[in-house]
Amino acid sequence: MHWTYRGAGWVHGAPQHVNPMRVVRDDERGLVAWLAEGTVLLQPRYPDGGTFRERPLSERFLPSTQRDRISARARWRGPGILRIAPTDRPFSVWLFWSTQGQFAGWYANLENPLLRAGDRCFTSDHVLDVWITADGQVRWKDEDELAEAVAQGRYTEAQAQALRTHGEQAIDEFRSGAWMFDARWTSWRAPADWTVPHLPDDAHWQLDLLDRGGRGSPG
């Protein structure tokens, strides 16, 4: 399946994050999928290969900065990521491991609830996120970016407050032991015979970064 992140106001032909993934579980509670190390994916990049976060924070959310990006093919070089999207929640939960295979923590990625279309799903990522360490310490992530996104017109104050509420919901669900934070997922491992999924046949890109070092971005 292909997990896709599109920016607000996305139009056909605009760059998007496309992550080929393998379904682990898919039922009424939500979708669980695996992004394998070495996966070739699509992501928005600038023509010089630069990333969104390499732009100055004071310019990062300006409309002109967003428009300058193109579609690039890259490779995810980090350890595999288990991604859980609970049904109708405004976030997904990403489980990270170290290169040595030790569980590192949960990343609550604030985003729209998934829209499903066959073997594809679509959502839009938001700026604010929550990081929860393996021993349960909670930390907000990218609060400075959210403040700049409001200042640069990406979000209103009311929208920013709604995102904080969504983050608090994720924290509450972690503390209550909701199923996506169940400890059994931290010991889950991909079967050894699983192959790495490919980009869809209709994928296109203007920039190829497969031979460059560094990690591609999964979202």
Q: What is the pLDDT of residue 139?
A: 98
Q: Is the dihedral of CA 166, 172, 175, 180 positive or negative?
A: negative
> Is the pLDDT at 215 greater than 80, yes or no?
no
Domain count, the chain: 1
Residues 6+ apart with CB under 8 A from 103: 95, 96, 97, 134, 186, 187
> Is the pLDDT at 211 greater than 90, yes or no?
no
User: Is residue 211 situated within a structural domain?
Assistant: no
> Is the pLDDT at 219 greater than 90, yes or no?
no
Residue 198 to residues 25, 40, 45, 80, 132, Cα–Cα distance (Å): 19, 7, 20, 15, 30
pLDDT digits (tens, 9 = 90+) for 111-127: 999 999 999 999 999 99
Q: Is the dihedral of CA 60, 43, 122, 19 positive or negative?
A: negative
User: Is residue 218 situated within a structural domain?
Assistant: no
> Is the pLDDT at 175 greater than 60, yes or no?
yes
Helix axes 143-151, 157-175, angle to 10 degrees: 160
> Is the pLDDT at 65 greater than 90, yes or no?
no
Phi, psi dihedrals of residue 163, rounded to the nearest 5°: -65, -40
- Between 2-11, 89-98, 183-192, the lowest mean confidence (pLDDT) is in 2-11
User: Is residue 191 situated within a structural domain?
Assistant: no
Q: What is the pLDDT of residue 213?
A: 56
Q: What is the pLDDT of residue 11?
A: 82
What's the chain's length in residues? 219
pLDDT digits (tens, 9 = 90+) for 11-60: 888 999 999 999 999 999 999 999 999 999 999 999 999 998 999 999 99
User: Is residue 158 situated within a structural domain?
Assistant: yes
Residue 23 to residues 2, 179, 190, Cα–Cα distance (Å): 10, 17, 11
Give me 127's structure tokens.
């700026």
Residues 6+ apart with CB under 8 A from 18: 2, 3, 4, 41, 42, 43, 199, 200, 203
User: Is residue 68 situated within a structural domain?
Assistant: yes
User: Is residue 216 situated within a structural domain?
Assistant: no
Q: Is the dihedral of CA 22, 27, 28, 29 positive or negative?
A: negative
Q: Using CA atoms, how far apart are residues 85 and 89, in angstroms rounded to an integer?
A: 7
User: Is residue 76 situated within a structural domain?
Assistant: yes
CATH number of domain containing 16: 2.40.380.10
Write out the residue range of the structural domain in which residue 88 sits: 2-181
Strands 40-45 and 70-75: antiparallel
> Is the pLDDT at 141 greater than 70, yes or no?
yes
